[in-house]
Chain A
Amino acid sequence: MGEKILMKGNEAVAEAAIRAGCRHYFAYPITPQNELVEYMAKRMPKVNGTFLQAESELAAINMVLGAAACGVRAMTSSSSPGISLKQEGISYIAACRLPAVIVNVTRGGPGLGNIAPMMCDYFQATRGGGHGDYYTPVLCPSTVQEFADHAPLAFEIAERYLTPVLILADGLLGQMMEPVEFPEKTPVPKDQSDWCVGPWEGKRTSHHVINSLFIVPEDLEEKTRILFEVYEEIKKNEIRYETYNMESNPSLVVAAAGTAARVTKSAIDELKAEGIEVGLVRPITLWPFPSEAVAKAASGAKKMLVIELNMGQMVEDIRLAVSGACPVEFAGKAGGVVFTPEDIAALIKEKM
């Protein structure tokens, strides 16, 4: 570990991606993730990397596809409306089975919305996002350090399963500063002959054909079957979550991710000082979703409260996971308005 420095989430994830071996970054600017673009513009030339400000989000994501097909660690980033524009390319990358990392520092929506820290892209992120039958693993950090740590992890998952991986952080995490340190080791690159166009002297006799067009229904069926076999592997190996104060056997458990979880933790600490025990389960991978962990947390609880910075998206996955074991209630805020610990403490008391 090196010395700690103070960074915005946007800067930290960019630096961590470079340290993870990313030398190809393509993007189009949008608030509140511009520091990520600026950081890459500043740093990439110094590490012999490529920074390219594309003419559009569509161009950027297709450059990522092309770079990934050539076997390099490639990344793009944007914020909500820009990520919508990238969805076609993400679907193509998923279909082509290429590793790539996409960072979404979300803002308020729908539409042009605003630049405030709303977490309203949960459905889009966890349900494939673009057209077709596919998923992307989604990492959801809640501190600047975790945001940075997710960059090498995202490349690792992307290459292990040959899939695009999404890091979903809200604007607050992108903008705020915290001390951060970077691991010295970078993820070991996977044998690129598994996916790279080639040619691969001695390893393969032919080029890989990178393609997502399969006209014969049985061919596409077979490709999709393989894709979903991979998704089962990802579900088996890559589910991540955190629990907080669950050892107190709380009667009420909050489920929250990202910034909402951060605020909830402060509320839980406040309530603990008053003698009220509340637990938290924080999904870190939003897909695959930590359903078993949520079910386990719900099994000892009288009630589950889902807190989101949107009008209720993750609550659907929570209800599926809890499966009626206890009542599930929801509290959300739209527009980029953020709960305070006082708000959440009051809410919890009301629901108990």
Chain B
Amino acid sequence: MPDTGADGFGAGPRFFSGVSLLAITGSYGSGKTELAANLAMLLAETGRPTTLVDLDVVNPYFRSRDMREPFLARGIEVVAPPGQFSHADLPMLPPRVQGAIEDTGRHVILDAGGDPMGARVLARYSGLVQARGYRMVLVANSRRPDTLDAEAIAAMAASIERSSRLGIHEIVANAHLMEETTVEIINEGIRASREAARARGIVFHTACALEDTARRLDLSRAEAPVLLLKKTMLKPWEKGWRASRAHQER
């Protein structure tokens, strides 16, 4: 069943009911950045001023800062190390991160780095985030080596909470094997995430799948609502890669 959300304008804003700041965590490769990018686009489409903060100081490639152009074109502010520093493997946080968190006039998405190590950056801002009010989600791909089952997902949630000094409210199932994803894999992820959420006493509501995957598969067989994502993180041999990076290469 497609996830249309209770408020009538899509599943994206559901994550923001009652809050205007969403922190997205998970193991690296869980699909955090895809979810962050898509939610930013959904917010922008509904006319909300939106800021996407790239807090990934762990991954050297495939970060939201690598594709600023489509965000800028939609009026989304992208906060990441500027210019030449966006290619540096330095744990560098621009001052605007704090400004963005304090700017309650805008919706804010914090795209954390992978694993408890990447989420540690959030701890630097945990006081401000708590003062503003927030929701934090864990994105779990049960085909990634550190989150293969419910127990591992729950353990990942616990250690990310410790390192980020923030609480996780919801687990989002994003089980996939890229082009080789099947409905069985999606359901396997839904079950693992649901069980992990139950064990931690938090919410499980939604699974994710790429639109391309959805076209190929019968998602009416999915055992939870599925939020459809547009693929934004491309590889050089995939169409549109250059255009997505145009801003950087100028």
A82 within 8 A of B: no
B29 within 8 A of A: yes
Q: Which of B146-177 contact A (CB under 8 A)?
A: 148, 176-177
Q: Contact string, B216-250, partner A, CB cutoff 8 A, digits 1/0?
A: 00000000000000000001111101100000010
A275 to chain B, nearest CB (A): 19
A281 within 8 A of B: no
Give the chain A neighbours of B59 by CB distance below 8 A: 175
Which residue from A176, A266, A339 sits with its C-beta under 8 Å from B61? A176
The stretch among B35-43, B92-100, B137-145 that forms the contact with chain A is: B137-145
Q: Contact string, B58-85, partner A, CB cutoff 8 A, digits 1/0?
A: 0111100000000000000000000000
Across the interface, do B61 and A179 meet the contact criterion of CB distance under 8 Å?
Answer: no
Give the chain A neighbours of B177 by CB distance below 8 A: 4-6, 179
Most buried by A among B178, B180, B237: B237
* Binding site secondary structure of chain B: loop
Chain B residue with the shortest CB-CB distance to A267: B237
* Interface size classification for chain B: 20 to 34
Which residue from A7, A171, A342, A343 sits with its C-beta under 8 Å from B145? A7
Q: Which of A257-274 contact B (CB under 8 A)?
A: 259, 262-263, 265-266
Number of interface residues of A (CB under 8 A): 32
Q: Contact string, A311-345, partner B, CB cutoff 8 A, digits 1/0?
A: 00000000000000000000000000111111100
Across the interface, do B236 and A31 meet the contact criterion of CB distance under 8 Å?
Answer: no
A262 to chain B, nearest CB (A): 5
A115 within 8 A of B: yes
B102 within 8 A of A: no
B89 within 8 A of A: yes
B87 within 8 A of A: yes
Q: Contact string, A100-120, partner B, CB cutoff 8 A, digits 1/0?
A: 000000000000001111000
A-B contact pairs, 9 of them (CB 8 A): A4-B177, A6-B141, A7-B144, A32-B61, A175-B59, A175-B61, A176-B235, A263-B237, A341-B237
What 10 pairs between A and B have smallest CB-CB spacing?
A266-B237, A175-B61, A179-B177, A31-B89, A338-B236, A263-B237, A6-B143, A340-B242, A179-B180, A32-B60
| B contact residues vs A (CB 8 Å cutoff) | 28-29, 59-62, 87-89, 141, 143-145, 148, 176-178, 180, 235-239, 241-242, 249
